[in-house]
Structure 1
Amino acid sequence: RRFGCSVCGKRFWEAALLMRHQRCHTEERPFRCGVCGRGFLRSWYLRQHKVVHTGERAYKCALCGKRFAQSSSLAEHQR
């Protein structure tokens, strides 16, 4: 692993991965919610956040029919 973070020492195979990682040490949040303006480190975090505004519950339990906004919540429910 050739690319090391100067703040925490974590190492990466690619420079792009190091650059993405370094955002966690700064205030940089390039993915912004168009509704509330909250910023996120990764686009995936923004997609998860958007359900706060839409109320969408795309994940449905096959056993009881209960719906969840996040797949992790459905998985926890099914345990």
Structure 2
Amino acid sequence: EKPYVCDRCGQRFAQASTLTYHVRRHTGEKPYVCDSCGKAFAVSSSLITHSRKHTGEKPYICGICEKSFISSGELNKHFRSHTGERPFICEMCGNSYTDIKNLKKH
């Protein structure tokens, strides 16, 4: 059930907080600001991940090669280099990629 509805585009959400983050995409509101460089973010977790660039903290560690990363997403992307998984597939030609950004570039 998704009772929370965006009044701008009609998209529905299961949680009010997710709707709040979504609405910020429409408004451009970025209330979370980095104390080190001033960069602003719409979601607090994005600020936390960004802050690790300044502190050097890399709490996510690959269980295979022990390389460390600032976010779980970066670790997951790296892990595909070990598994060979390429989950992002071009619907036009069938080429596959380890990262959505590479698919979009293609």
Q: Distance in 1 between matches of 2:76 and 2:19?
A: 31
Gaps of 5+ in 2: 81-106
Distance 1:45 1:12, change over 3 A: same
Map 1:39-54 → 2, pairs under 5 A: 39-54=40-55
User: Which is bigger in relative contact order (C-alpha 8 A, separation at least 6)?
Assistant: 1
TM-score by length of 2: 0.59
What root-mean-square deviation, in Å, do the aligned CA atoms of Structure 1 and Structure 2 show?
2.2
Residue identity in the other structure for 1:64: C
Following TM superposition, by how much is the alpha carbon of 1:30 offset from its aligned partner in structure 2, in angstroms? 1.1
Deviates more, 1:25-34 or 1:68-77: 68-77
Moved over 6 A (4+): none
Identity level (%): 42
Aligned residues: 79
